[in-house]
């Protein structure tokens, strides 16, 4: 398993293989990209939050989404967080706040996505969350 570096992330974006829109150089990290929230939120208990970014993964890249440590230190945890190759859409973050209310402002960096090379062929994601826009509740 290989993690894409910042130069590889930019290369894949420039090639049109990887989509991060809107992209900000300030969110690009050495081996990840920081996801921002699409609007103001007050985090209490279980909550769903949408990324500002629309992400589109090529068939040879998967994503792992992790909470930024700043929010972990405030008692906010992320569940799930795996994105299949071929997925395109906004990222719904499933959060749990174990502490007091935490305010998050529109455009604030809340999570980071790590991009992983996928070895071998895959049919890609074709599930019910494909092309999600904004917060998407459970479809089970």
Residue 35: which CATH number?
Answer: 2.70.40.10
Domain that holds residue 64: 6-117
pLDDT in tens, 4-45: 999 999 999 999 999 999 999 999 999 999 999 999 999 999
* Terminal CA-CA length for the chain: 31
In a domain? residue 133: no
pLDDT tens track for 64-118: 999 999 999 999 999 978 999 999 999 999 999 999 999 999 999 999 999 999 9
In a domain, 22, yes or no: yes
pLDDT of residue 127: 85
Q: Which residues are within 8 A (CB) of 49 and not within 5 positions of it... i.e. 6 or more apart?
A: 37, 38, 41, 43, 92, 93, 95, 104, 110, 135
The confidence score (pLDDT) of residue 115 equals: 99
- In the β-sheet with 76-79, what is the strand arrangement from edge to edge? 19-21, 41-56, 88-104, 76-79
């Amino acid at each position: 398993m290989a993690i894409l570096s910042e130069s590889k992330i930019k290369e894949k974006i420039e090639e049109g293989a990887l989509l991060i829109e809107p992209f900000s150089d300030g969110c690009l990290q050495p081996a990840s990209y920081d996801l921002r929230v699409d609007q103001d939120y007050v985090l209490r208990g279980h909550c769903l939050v949408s990324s500002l970014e629309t992400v589109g993964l090529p068939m040879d890249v998967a994503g792992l989404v992790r909470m930024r440590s700043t929010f972990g230190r405030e008692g906010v945890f992320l569940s799930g967080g795996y994105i299949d190759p071929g997925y395109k859409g906004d990222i719904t973050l499933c959060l749990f706040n174990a502490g007091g209310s935490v305010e998050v402002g529109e455009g604030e960096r809340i999570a980071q996505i790590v991009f992983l090379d996928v070895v071998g062929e895959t049919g890609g994601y074709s599930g019910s969350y494909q092309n999600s826009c904004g917060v998407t509740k459970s479809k089970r």
